[in-house]
Amino acid sequence: MTRTFKAQALATMMGTTSDTIRRATDESEILVQRQETGPRTRVYTVENVYELAQWRARKKGEKRAKRPVVVTVYVPKGGVGKSTVSSNLASILPLMGLKTLVIDLDFQSNLTLSFGYDSELSREEAAEDAVPEERVVDYHFGCLFDRWPEKQPLSKVLKKPFGEYGPHLIPSDVSLDGLDTLMTFEALENRNSVSMFAKLIAEGRSGKNPDLDLSSYDVILFDAAPAKNRMTRSALLASDYVVAPISLEKFSTKAVSYLSSVLTELKEQSNRCPELIILGNFFDQNRTRVLNQLSMIRRTYNDAWLSAVIRRSEDFPKTLSSDAFELPLCLSKPSSAGADDLRKVAQELMTKMGVL
């Protein structure tokens, strides 16, 4: 069954009142169904939600920075919330009127799965099990490279899980690992594979590459794997910012200082590196260990620390364990504490990055 939303949920997501949502719906003439029985309340599909958000943003006519800002969500540590932050930011930014592309750069495909795609499913299996064809993943980011054996244009690779005005996704599957291999071969042939990747993104964001025109996006997000492989280093080199989610309960200072050394190394080799932004996840201010870790981080990286944090909440793992079609938390439970934290994080990040 398709998940639907009431006006109040849209109001929470967009930081306004349900009356404003109802008025905007009338004015925009977006086709919204009403409940078949009872008070005939409006029920919005997820596509309606994004259509309305886009209509409101266009009406406000806010000016945006010219080129997309490129952000990699990365820290060299597993399970700290990189994919959670990526999927939720990608879902929140279009609600703020920002056209957003999120790229799954991890062949484990957790981000792809969180948008309802099944990266292990073949077309034949989908047909046999009556699974909608659109859930199948045929291509990934590696397929956009000239040297990929069956190069594809962006239009073939792109998925739009919540319609045209929601987040756009470049999914991944296990064969994305081949991109790292391809890059290793490039390096063995004395070509700079890391800058090949950065060049592809640079051309894409300037609109110079007709097969990969990224110039209409406001924000491009990479969800990186925890590994420090060529793909991750390349995404970092291609990015303006790196957002590093850390769990302050564990050995977070170590992971951040390691990331910081990776950035210094990049700067030395390429004279370019993204600006570091550290994001506290699994936050619990009642724990002494968390506060100790926080003061250690702030002593060294105070400028990089984002004041908005994401609290620990059981709502996060719950969204993953339920139905494969479940939505990111900011959509499935817009009034939860986790969703509220994520919206504040998105707002502070976009302000810091000069996008808003």
Check residue 6 for interaction with ligand ATP (CB under 6 A): no
- Burial letters for 66-94: b for 16+ Cβ neighbours within 10 Å, e otherwise? ebbbbbbbbbbbeebbbbbbbbbbbbbbb
Name which of 24 and 111 has its Cβ closer to ligand ATP.
111
Per CB under 5 A, contacts with Mg ion among 304-323 are: none
Binding partner of residue 337 among Mg ion, ligand ATP, none, CB cut-off 5 to 8 Å per kind: none
Least distance (Å) between residue 276 CB and ligand ATP = 17
At a CB cut-off of 8 Å and minimum separation 6, what does 82 contact?
73, 74, 75, 223, 224, 226, 245
Name which of 193 and 281 has its Cβ closer to ligand ATP.
281
Check residue 42 for interaction with Mg ion (CB under 5 A): no
Name which of 15 and 317 has its Cβ closer to ligand ATP.
317
Distance between CA atoms of 146 and 304, rounded to whole angstroms?
Answer: 36
**Total residues binding ligand ATP (CB under 6 A):** 19
Least distance (Å) between residue 250 CB and ligand ATP = 12
Name which of 12 and 281 has its Cβ closer to Mg ion.
281
Question: 267 is written with which tokens?
Answer: 């700067």
Q: How far is CA 280 from CA 12, 52, 223, 253, 274, in A?
A: 23, 31, 17, 12, 19
Residues 184-223, mask of contacts with ligand ATP (x by CB under 6 A) = ----------------------------------------
Per CB under 5 A, contacts with Mg ion among 63-82 are: 82
Check residue 15 for interaction with ligand ATP (CB under 6 A): no
Which residue's beta carbon is nearest to the bound Mg ion? 83
Stretch near Mg ion under the rule CB under 5 A, chosen from 110-118, 188-196, 197-205, 227-235: 110-118
Question: Would you call 140 helix, strand, or coil by DSSP?
Answer: coil
List the one residue out of 245, 241, 270, 269 whose CA is nearest residue 256: 245
Contact (Cβ atoms closer than 8 angstroms) between residue 248 and residue 282: yes
Binding partner of residue 84 among ligand ATP, Mg ion, none, CB cut-off 5 to 8 Å per kind: ligand ATP
Stretch near ligand ATP under the rule CB under 6 A, chosen from 19-27, 74-82, 128-136, 258-266: 74-82
Question: 218 is written with which tokens?
Answer: 């406001």
Torsion over CA of 279, 75, 242 and 297, rounded to 10 degrees?
A: 50
Least distance (Å) between residue 108 CB and Mg ion = 7
Stretch near Mg ion under the rule CB under 5 A, chosen from 102-110, 168-176, 278-286, 324-332: 102-110
Stretch near Mg ion under the rule CB under 5 A, chosen from 21-29, 107-115, 140-148, 187-195: 107-115
Stretch near Mg ion under the rule CB under 5 A, chosen from 61-69, 108-116, 119-127, 328-336: 108-116
Torsion over CA of 212, 217, 219 and 220, rounded to 10 degrees?
A: -20
Stretch near ligand ATP under the rule CB under 6 A, chosen from 199-207, 261-269, 271-279, 315-323: 315-323
The whole-angstrom distance between residue 140's C-alpha and the CA centroid of its chain comes to: 15
Q: In the set 83, 114, 319, 336, which binds Mg ion (CB under 5 A)?
A: 83
Question: Would you call 2 helix, strand, or coil by DSSP?
Answer: coil
Check residue 54 for interaction with ligand ATP (CB under 6 A): no
Distance between CA atoms of 222 and 68, rounded to whole angstroms?
Answer: 13
Binding partner of residue 313 among Mg ion, ligand ATP, none, CB cut-off 5 to 8 Å per kind: ligand ATP
CB burial of residue 6 (10 Å; 0-12, 13-18, 19+): middle
Residues that bind Mg ion (CB under 5 A): 82-83, 110
